[in-house]
């Protein structure tokens, strides 16, 4: 769990040092609309730290029902409730525009942890195995555009994501439409935000 704590602690300290900048240029509070499609609920904040540079942190709460399969005949798996969290620190560069507006390039990391809680423990077979756990880490590079509509912001982005997931032993998450992401893949999405202060 130490690898989850260190990046978030560093980002919190950095945000604390930029309170004056946030008060002047406006803190952006946002949510990722794309996450709703995959059973995640996101809340984040972006803080300008330079005229063309900002830092941000998004926190995703995972809450979805998934089927966990197994390669072992004695432990067939079954329906579960997946609950966990993903932390995503990010740095954005806005070339030719002020931070928080216009086209940007973003570099982010992410660190996730979740547990699968069996819905019906009897379906998991005899004997005892601890509930499966899901751990993931990775990084993304995106090109995006943040469109200002008064205090509201629409933020679309597209790029690549590299992901590394810990092995779940004999278990695997059975999601045909959203397979376990491992390696390099295309990624994108849409965020909705609001500027809480500063200039509109």
- Measure the CA–CA gap between 52 and 174, rounded to whole angstroms: 42
Residue 107's closest CA among 92, 86, 96, 87? 92
Greater pLDDT, 127 or 110: 110
Query: pLDDT value at position 126?
Result: 57
Whether 155 has a pLDDT exceeding 70, the answer reads yes
CA distances from 180 to 71, 96, 146 (A): 16, 37, 29
Q: Token digits for 40?
A: 């995640």
Percent of the chain with pLDDT over 70: 78
Across the chain, mean pLDDT equals 81
- Measure the CA–CA gap between 145 and 108, rounded to whole angstroms: 16
Query: What's 181's DSSP letter?
Result: P
Query: pLDDT value at position 106?
Result: 97
Give me the phi and psi of 89, to 5 degrees please.
-75, 150
Query: pLDDT value at position 21?
Result: 43
- Measure the CA–CA gap between 28 and 31, rounded to whole angstroms: 10
Whether 180 has a pLDDT exceeding 60, the answer reads no
Query: pLDDT value at position 175?
Result: 67
CATH code of domain 2-195: 2.40.160.20
- Measure the CA–CA gap between 74 and 77, rounded to whole angstroms: 9
**pLDDT digit string, tens, across residues 20-77:** 444 445 799 999 999 888 889 999 999 999 889 999 999 999 998 888 888 777 777 7
Greater pLDDT, 23 or 108: 108
Percent of the chain with pLDDT over 90: 44
Whether 2 has a pLDDT exceeding 70, the answer reads no
Q: Give residue limits of the domains in the chain.
A: 2-195
**pLDDT digit string, tens, across residues 43-52:** 999 999 988 9
């Amino acid at each position: 769990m130490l690898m989850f704590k260190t990046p978030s602690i560093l980002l919190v300290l950095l945000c604390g040092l930029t309170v004056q900048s946030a008060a002047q240029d406006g803190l952006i509070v946002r949510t990722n609309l794309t996450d709703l499609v995959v059973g995640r609920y996101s809340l984040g904040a972006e803080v300008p730290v330079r005229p063309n540079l900002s830092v941000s942190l998004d926190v995703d709460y995972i809450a979805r029902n998934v089927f966990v399969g197994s390669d072992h005949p004695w432990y067939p798996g079954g329906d579960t409730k997946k609950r966990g969290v993903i932390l995503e620190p990010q740095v954005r560069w806005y070339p030719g525009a002020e931070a928080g507006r216009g086209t940007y390039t973003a570099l982010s990391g992410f660190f996730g942890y979740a547990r699968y809680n069996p819905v019906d423990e009897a379906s998991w077979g005899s004997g005892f195995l601890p509930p499966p756990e899901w751990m993931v880490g990775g990084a993304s590079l995106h090109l995006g555009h943040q469109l200002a509509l008064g205090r509201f912001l629409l933020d679309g982005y597209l790029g690549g994501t590299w992901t590394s997931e810990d092995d779940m032993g004999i278990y695997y998450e059975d999601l045909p439409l959203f397979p376990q992401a491992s390696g390099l893949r295309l990624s994108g999405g849409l965020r909705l935000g609001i500027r809480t202060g500063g200039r509109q």
